[in-house]
Structure 1
Amino acid sequence: MNAATTKTWKLKALIAASAGACLLAVASPAAAQAAWPDKPVVMVVPYSAGGPTDVVARMLAVPMGKSLGQTVVVENTVGAGGTIAPTRVAKAAPNGYTILIHHMGMATAPALYKKLNYDPLKDFEYIGQVMDVPMTLLSRKDFPANNFKELLAYVKANKDKVSLANAGVGAVSQLCGMLFAHQIGVQLTTVPYKGAGPALNDLMGGQVDLLCDQTTQTAPVIKDGQRVKVFGVTTPKRLSSMPDIPTLDEQGLKGFDVKVWHGVYAPKGTPPAVIEKLNVALRVALQDENVKKRFAELSTEAVPMEKVTPEALRTHLAAEIEKWGKVIKAAGVQAD
């Protein structure tokens, strides 16, 4: 082999080696994504353990984990009206190992708070919607009114004495109560709690008068019939699981429609392949027979599968931000 041939051979070998290195560099991210997940996924909940959103998260975690082949760990990151958890997830590494489940508070926070450390429409990737949860208007068991007509008469005559509990600033119970008071034209004394559980406990104990909260929280105590009175559901149609309870709309509050929707999110920049795997896991969980059974027991159900998409969640979130922004502005409610 002469010098020229040797030189040519070495050049070809160098080019081949370089090409191989480039292929490995290109393939490495794809291989890493293909192996995802290789450790547990943390699902962050903005509210306390035992509350409605926490209940939903824990129902989904097991079947999602089975689908992903890794444990889905539920962590409660509470505080600041449910805004600390989204901040945490927005700032997390965009690798799919930290995700967020949140209710309609994602849509109301921009109007409720003067300053947020995240933008719901810019700082997240969207995995899919989960469910629409009806709400119920309840009172303590010994409240003087026995039906909705009597409730309205009593509240209007005693508005300075009637207390309306909620689970804290930004909680859906606050929003439902706000809309109720606005629609009947009265100002009620609101009593904020640190979570839906404590609010419901004090209602059952007779410390507060009224509460509007999700069926995931209230259905069991409504069905036992011993500890609260129920005056109506907040959806346009009666619930198949509690058909004897009339809607607020049919009792005179025309157009009253409050459903608590939930969605699952990831940090902005999470790879599309990872979002797709999380979306598939969410779909699998929502079709799990045990999850369906638990949803039915709590008088709710999963959204149609066409809503369990990133696109549907983003579109719905944008519409809800606009809707609730108007309601909150009209009520003159804003937190620091």
Structure 2
Amino acid sequence: MWIRQAAGRAATLCLVSGLAIGAGHANAEYPEKPVTLVVPFVAGGPSDKIARDVAESLRKTLGTTVVVENTAGAGGTIGTARVARAAPDGYTLLVHHIGLATAPALYKKLGYKTSDLAFVGLINEAPSTLIGKTALAPNNFAELRELISASGSKLNLANAGVGSASHLCSLLLQNMLKSDMTFVPYKGTAPAMSDIMGGQVDLMCEQATNSTPQIEARKVKAYAVTSAQRSAVPALSGIPTLIEAGLPGFNFTVWHGVYAPQATPQAVLDKINKALRAALKDPSLIKREEALGITVISDDRLSPAGHKKFFDDEVVRWTKVIKDAGIQPE
């Protein structure tokens, strides 16, 4: 009896040890196959462009193929839910923007919880620009502010859909101006930008990555940038911030981060974070991002803990903005 029990304990110990060694070996060998970066928005948008830039640099550091897949819909929540439910092995990752922090206040049913995701690190942040159709009379923000005060809901403000960066920026702007401009939602940035260039809508608060070419081509009027400091991009450097233009405390940047399913082994998360850090030091990536007015993250927000703290603060901030705007979760 004692011999059989001892043998059983020995067999169990060997099995547990074997599993531990096997898991450790699997983590040590990561990655053994292609890694997928899920972008919860359509191809060609700012998030897609950034993900593809990061994918190319990650490929060099991870030594494997990194594929970008677009899973769009419902303000980014469909793609996010896909990653939250994916196998926690490090082969399915999420690249998402500020909308991840606002989704809990905008949607009743998300199909996931924020706690279903592990934070890897922040990638970048970029300002938006407040732009208008060329036929608008105001030539600076002070004049525009007067027009907004006088016209109210007669002026319309385009956005790329509920939860989009342009929508969030518009909410913050309307909240701080205490105005009642009419929001005009579109299904994406491209049709909204097309209509503002065509003069069908008056204003838009859009990411600099999309608006800079139109500003350079004088297809739209630029009134302000939304970050705390002016942009270093030549085409935008002469445009004042909204703080300079008379809205103290206005600071809106669009940031992107990398996420994994929550139960992903720590050893794998560490490898992904290390690869992300190396990718964000890639001179070619930095050059491409800076040319668009984007700041590549190099501070503590690149760490999982720093990323999570920043994210939690953004959730608190935007929940208040959305609540103050009287928006009810869908």
TM over 0.5: yes
Is 2:35 the counterpart of 1:56? no
**Alignment partner, residue 176 of structure 2:** 183
Report SS of the residue matched to 2:166: helix
**Alignment partner, residue 81 of structure 1:** 75
**Alignment partner, residue 150 of structure 2:** 157
**Alignment partner, residue 273 of structure 1:** 267
Report SS of the residue matched to 1:130: strand
Could you tell me whether the CA contact under 8 Å between 1:129 and 1:307 is conserved in 2? yes
Could you tell me whether the CA contact under 8 Å between 2:37 and 2:95 is conserved in 1? yes
2:194 to 201, 206, 211: 201
The correspondence of residues 227-246 of structure 1 with structure 2, limited to 5 A, is 227-241=219-233, 242-246=236-240
- 1:265-304: CA deviations, max 9, x gaps? 0011001111111111111111111111111110111112
Is 2:93 the counterpart of 1:99? yes
Could you tell me how far 1:243 is from its partner in structure 2? Answer: 2.1
2:23 to 14, 21, 29: 29
Could you tell me how far 1:213 is from its partner in structure 2? Answer: 1.3
- 1:45-86: CA deviations, max 9, x gaps? 111111111111111011101211111111111111111111
2:140 to 129, 144, 147: 147
The correspondence of residues 14-25 of structure 1 with structure 2, limited to 5 A, is 23-25=17-19
Gap runs ≥5 in structure 1 = 1-7
Could you tell me how far 1:21 is from its partner in structure 2? Answer: 5.7
**Alignment partner, residue 285 of structure 2:** 291
Structure 2 residue identity aligned to 1:133: A
Could you tell me whether the CA contact under 8 Å between 2:175 and 2:324 is conserved in 1? no
Alpha-carbon distance in 2 for matches of 1:82, 1:108: 11
Is 2:157 the counterpart of 1:167? no
Could you tell me whether the CA contact under 8 Å between 1:203 and 1:210 is conserved in 2? yes
2:39 to 42, 45, 48: 45
Report SS of the residue matched to 1:126: strand
Bigger Rg, which one: 1
- 1:203-249: CA deviations, max 9, x gaps? 11222111101112222222x23211100011122112232110111
Could you tell me how far 1:18 is from its partner in structure 2? Answer: 7.9
Report SS of the residue matched to 1:145: coil
The number of residue pairs the alignment matches comes to 326
Is 2:127 the counterpart of 1:134? yes
1:300 to 277, 294, 297: 294
Alpha-carbon distance in 1 for matches of 2:83, 2:279: 22
Report SS of the residue matched to 1:158: helix
The 1:149/1:17 distance shift into structure 2, 3 A limit, reads: closer
The 1:153/1:14 distance shift into structure 2, 3 A limit, reads: closer
Could you tell me how far 1:34 is from its partner in structure 2? Answer: 1.3
Report SS of the residue matched to 2:162: coil
Gap runs ≥5 in structure 2 = none
Alpha-carbon distance in 2 for matches of 1:254, 1:25: 58
**Alignment partner, residue 203 of structure 2:** 210
Could you tell me whether the CA contact under 8 Å between 1:283 and 1:305 is conserved in 2? no
Alpha-carbon distance in 1 for matches of 2:110, 2:19: 39
Percent identity at matched positions? 47
The 1:276/1:163 distance shift into structure 2, 3 A limit, reads: same
Structure 1 vs Structure 2 CA RMSD: 2.2
Report SS of the residue matched to 2:145: helix
Report SS of the residue matched to 2:201: coil
Alpha-carbon distance in 1 for matches of 2:14, 2:143: 80
Alpha-carbon distance in 1 for matches of 2:263, 2:222: 45
Say which is worse superposed, 236-245 or 130-139, in terms of deviation: 236-245
TM, length-normalised to structure 1: 0.91
Could you tell me whether the CA contact under 8 Å between 1:139 and 1:228 is conserved in 2? yes
1:248 to 242, 255, 261: 242
Structure 1 residue identity aligned to 2:228: P
1:225 to 201, 213, 217: 217
Alpha-carbon distance in 2 for matches of 1:15, 1:160: 76
Report SS of the residue matched to 1:252: coil
The 1:310/1:14 distance shift into structure 2, 3 A limit, reads: closer
TM, length-normalised to structure 2: 0.93
Could you tell me how far 1:33 is from its partner in structure 2? Answer: 1.3
Structure 2 residue identity aligned to 1:80: A
Alpha-carbon distance in 2 for matches of 1:191, 1:244: 28
